[in-house]
Amino acid sequence: MTKDWEDRVAAAWAAFDDYPEERAADFRAVIDTLVAELPDDSPVGPFEQACAWDSTGRSDKAVPLYREALARGLDGYRGRRAKIQLSSSLRNVGQPEEGVKLLTPELDAPSDELDDAVRAALALCLSSLGRDREGLSLVLGALAPHLPRYQRSMANYARALVNPGD
């Protein structure tokens, strides 16, 4: 991958909203064309294709591509994004328990700007499993630091949802 390739992928995604739903296949074709420039064994190719399928409402097509990207060794920022997005897609296709298994270790991963997205996706998976209190706890815990006031109270309420004795 070159900076030029990365810039063209970024430009394609920046134009995503220009593709109405009936032109979803056109957007995926743009991504497929860019992916065709990568080496056959690149983990980034299936990741970008999964994102395109996912973003055009086809979680079922995205799941195997996310899995392929991770199996090929996708790591770092894109790897974490793949885990978040795969978990969300798994929930969408009726497999939220797999999403929980995939994202739970991410709660202890080194912190980055995706921390709140991890918690949000995990909360949705938990809710799909009927574990709403745990999901709400995660969301409140993620929200608390962003509030102008009540950070401590909200963090305490988040903990109390899963540990009533606290």
Say how far apart CA 72 and CA 68 lie, in whole Å.
6
- 22-31, 76-85, 151-160 — which is least confidently predicted? 151-160
Q: Among residues 79, 55, 57, which one has the least CA distance to residue 67?
A: 79
Average pLDDT over residues 138-148: 92
Domain membership flag for residue 136: no
Domain membership flag for residue 161: no
Q: Which two tokens stand for residue 91?
A: 């929930």
The per-residue pLDDT for 88 is 97
Q: Among residues 38, 34, 31, which one has the least CA distance to residue 62?
A: 31
What pLDDT band is residue 164 in, cutting at 50, 70 and 90? confident
The residue range of the domain holding 92 is 3-99
Domain membership flag for residue 127: no
Say how far apart CA 92 and CA 19 lie, in whole Å.
22
Helix or strand run (H / E) with residue 131: none
Domain membership flag for residue 115: no
Average pLDDT over residues 75-101: 97
Say how far apart CA 15 and CA 124 lie, in whole Å.
28
**12-51 per-position pLDDT tens digit:** 999 999 998 999 999 999 999 999 999 999 999 999 999 9
Domain membership flag for residue 114: no
When the pLDDT of each residue in the chain is averaged and rounded to a whole number, the result is: 95
Average pLDDT over residues 63-92: 97
Instruction: Write down the pTM of the prediction.
Output: 0.91
Cα atoms in the Cβ-side hemisphere of radius 13 Å centred on 94: 1
Domain membership flag for residue 78: yes
Domain membership flag for residue 106: no
User: Domain containing 79 — which CATH number?
Assistant: 1.25.40
Average pLDDT over residues 58-81: 97
Residues 6+ apart with CB under 8 A from 84: 103, 106, 114, 117, 118, 121
Q: What angle do CA 83, 86, 88 make, to 5 degrees?
A: 110
Q: Report whether pLDDT(163) > 90.
A: no
The per-residue pLDDT for 1 is 75
- Number of domains into which the chain is organized: 1
- Note whether 99 and 87 are within 8 A (CB): yes
The per-residue pLDDT for 166 is 61
Average pLDDT over residues 97-111: 96
The per-residue pLDDT for 165 is 72
